[in-house]
Amino acid sequence: MEELTIRPVPRLKGDLVLPGDKSISHRAVMIGAIAKGKTIAKDILDCDDCNYTIRAFADMGIVIKKESRYTTIEGKGLRGLARPKASLNVGNSGTSMRLLAGILAGQDFSATLEGDESLSARPMKRISEPLALMGVSVNTRDGHPPLEIRGGNVKAVDYVLPIPSAQIKSALLFAGLYAAGVTTVRESSKSRDHTERMLEYFGADIKVEGLNVSVKGGRELAGRELEVPGDISSASFFMAGAILLDGSKVRIKNVSINPTRAGVLDILTKMGAKIKIVNKTGLFEPAGDIEVESGPLRGVSIGEGEIPAAIDELPIIFVLASLAKGRTVIKGAGELRVKETDRIRSMKENLEAMGARIRVSADEMIIEGVDALKGAGIKTYGDHRTCMAMTVAALTAKGASKIDDPQCVNKSFPQFFSVLEGLK
């Protein structure tokens, strides 16, 4: 798909079921692969990132089969992985690289993790340095990928995360599965907890006490059956469209509402959005149906403590703030600068081209709401979330917009544009 023209629409209406949550899908494949026995996962997300994770484990001897909505993973236990014949290429998936590093730390072979040009520019010292404290050799290229990991004798560690990060926390917990003793990871605020929940479900000796998570090494995991709920990050774009377009009403079924991921719901409620959660369910991950109606929004202050639970949804929150009444101030969003692109820059540039009023100072953003946006040329910078957020902005605009690289949504949500068409 080349350049795509987006024209404004009057409203969005309908019910939809979204593909499985990306973060949970990654972890289901990873934990299923190092568990003993068969794991059957329903609704694993079929996207570029998750498929790189699947291929990495296939390259290490794990049989993974997809059939309709079910993925079967023939796990071989903690030490059942085989040495890959070549480097493990994870494309643009930072989740794959950072979490796999923790699993490879415990293997009795060396392996190299590499990625595409964008991933190769992302920082990895935050992974290599704590793993080094656990006795794992991780060589990088000036703190960037590729990662050359020499696994083996992992030592337990008590580690304080410099910044809240589910990926770093997960990597250390995975490495801790192979350590003699108890590995503890401490955070200043709670990052997403999918790894802790799923490790417990698969039988790990894990304990959560406030902001601290501990795992005792040496216990084998057991294969399980599980269902992956819909991705709230993907849901956020349709929620935003329904809020902004008068007369809209959308129900998104069976979406993850894990409190460590659902910060977007709290922020939108604070902004005055009409949101209801019904039909709550969930085994190890809470889920429910999200009902959203159109309505006016007000500017709010979003503090640093609110960022970890809404980090992936901030691009679409920027769009909502641009059309809210009054001023929105967002503090502590600097982590957005080291995503697939600098999302603060990409969103500011694109929204200003559409008439938004935004000021940036370090990692603080001040957005003054405007009455309407205008159509413009949109640069995605190859970033899926910038692309989807700006598509929603374009739906509300006066005049047509053109998106330069719409296929970048394949990273997390290949069906995005077709699902959107069904709601117009």
Q: State the pairing for strand pair 144-150/137-141.
A: antiparallel
Q: 209 CB contacts (<8 Å, ≥6 apart)?
A: none
Q: Which residue has the tokens 């605009």?
A: 397
User: Is residue 210 exposed (0-12), middle (13-18) or buried (19+ Cβ within 10 Å)?
Assistant: exposed
Choice among 43, 312, 383, 405 that is catalytic: 312
User: Is residue 290 exposed (0-12), middle (13-18) or buried (19+ Cβ within 10 Å)?
Assistant: buried
Would you say 71 and 64 are in contact if contact means Cβ atoms under 8 Å apart?
Answer: yes
Radius of gyration of the chain (CA): 21
Would you say 248 and 242 are in contact if contact means Cβ atoms under 8 Å apart?
Answer: yes
Dihedral angle sign, alpha carbons of residues 36, 38, 41, 45: positive
Q: SS3 for 218?
A: coil
Would you say 161 and 117 are in contact if contact means Cβ atoms under 8 Å apart?
Answer: no
Going by C-alpha positions, the residue among 314, 75, 100 that lies closest to residue 195 is 100
Dihedral angle sign, alpha carbons of residues 386, 387, 388, 389: positive
- State both tokens at 120: 């190769």
Strand locations in 326-382, DSSP E? Answer: 327-330, 357-361, 364-368, 377-378
Would you say 284 and 197 are in contact if contact means Cβ atoms under 8 Å apart?
Answer: yes
Q: Is 312 a catalytic residue?
A: yes
Would you say 363 and 331 are in contact if contact means Cβ atoms under 8 Å apart?
Answer: yes
Would you say 151 and 176 are in contact if contact means Cβ atoms under 8 Å apart?
Answer: no
- State both tokens at 192: 């997403």
* Catalytic positions: 312
